Amino acid sequence: MTSSPVFLLLTGFLAGLCKAFDIGLSTKCVSIPEELSMCHDIGYSEMRLPNLMGHTTIPEVVSKTAEWHKLLQTGCHPYARMFLCSLFAPVCLDTFIQPCRSMCEAVRDGCAPVLECHDQSWPESLNCDRFPAGDDMCLDNLSKEFQYIYKELPKPTCQGCPIIEETFSYRSVLDAFCDNDIAVKVKLAKRKFAPGHHEYVTEGPIEFIKQGLLLPYDTRNLVEQWLRINDNCAHRMIRHSRSMAYILTGNIQHGKVMLNRVFHWQKKDSQLTLAIRKWRHHKC
């Protein structure tokens, strides 16, 4: 599986953590700069320099954090941003406030599989044993109630690429609807956001054909997170900047969303139209 350049850099950026927790330097408070967008709206507006990564200047911090944006966009864990900002832009108090070990473990368990999807592993420099166990002052983990809700929500996962079908009969589409828990019609497009870099997005409304356990208010976000996690699959599926319609079918097992078959909706495609019309009265 080919790794994207952004993810190949992650381990290198994390490698400096082992020296970060005892930087042995006097610190100063500075405003979190506008360029450090991932650390805006996290509950405070000033950070300490040098930070817990050992960075001593704002340009250095901004440069290093820029490479984390793609990982955060996958939604691998709801506290990933707070965890990273506590290291890159620690709150300006009399002493450094580290993340608790429980927070590190939760973020690691959610985000390490995304790194593994790109042939990377959770680095030893972020070994969660380095962080306080909670008896000291530290940034605590999610509440048990929130952890339960988060655990129960359907989430995309790293997977082998689903079958992408360009030619098919309406009967094979009906079979896919029967064999899978979910089926949605969605428009997908490729957008350039930097030289040599693209992102994959949804456009317009999402049509549920077989809703299953999908939540209407979260399905768009879920699809886009799946595309970001499985960007090698997205690259194979979505080849044009103009939006094109697809039928996505898959299963939700143990809270993980897996796509199994993708039907490319060609213009004036009578087979997909016929399959959707027949599905209303179809018996598997």
Domains: count for the chain: 2
pLDDT value of residue 147: 61
User: What number of CA atoms fall less than 13 Å from residue 98's CA on the CB side?
Assistant: 20
Low-confidence ranges of the chain (pLDDT < 70): 1-26, 125, 135-136, 141-152, 194-196
pLDDT value of residue 172: 96
Question: Is there a single domain that holds both residue 28 and residue 114?
Answer: yes
pLDDT value of residue 267: 75
pLDDT value of residue 241: 80
Question: Is there a single domain that holds both residue 120 and residue 209?
Answer: no
- Gyration radius of the chain's alpha carbons: 22
Question: Is there a single domain that holds both residue 144 and residue 160?
Answer: no
Could you tell me the CATH number of the domain that includes residue 42? 1.10.2000.10
Question: Is there a single domain that holds both residue 18 and residue 135?
Answer: yes
Q: What are phi and psi of 176, to 5 degrees?
A: -65, -40
Residue 2: CB atoms within 10 A of its CB come to 9
Question: Is there a single domain that holds both residue 168 and residue 143?
Answer: no
Tokens of 43: 């509950």
Domain of 271, in residue numbers: 155-279
Question: Is there a single domain that holds both residue 59 and residue 111?
Answer: yes
Q: With respect to residue 284, please indicate whether it lies within any of the assigned structural domains.
A: no
Confirm if 180 and 261 have CB atoms less than 8 A apart.
yes
Where do runs of H (alpha helix) occur along the chain? 5-14, 58-66, 69-73, 80-88, 101-117, 144-152, 170-179, 219-229, 231-237, 270-279
Question: Is there a single domain that holds both residue 256 and residue 196?
Answer: yes
Question: Is there a single domain that holds both residue 128 and residue 16?
Answer: yes
Closest CA to 87 of 44, 128, 32, 47: 47
Could you tell me the CATH number of the domain that includes residue 258? 2.40.50
Question: Is there a single domain that holds both residue 19 and residue 134?
Answer: yes
Q: Which of residues 98, 120, 152 is at a domain's end?
A: 152
What DSSP letter does each residue of 198-263 carry, written as one string? EEEEEEEEEEEEE-TT--TTTHHHHHHHHHHHTHHHHHHH---SS-EEEEEEEEEETTEEEEEEEE
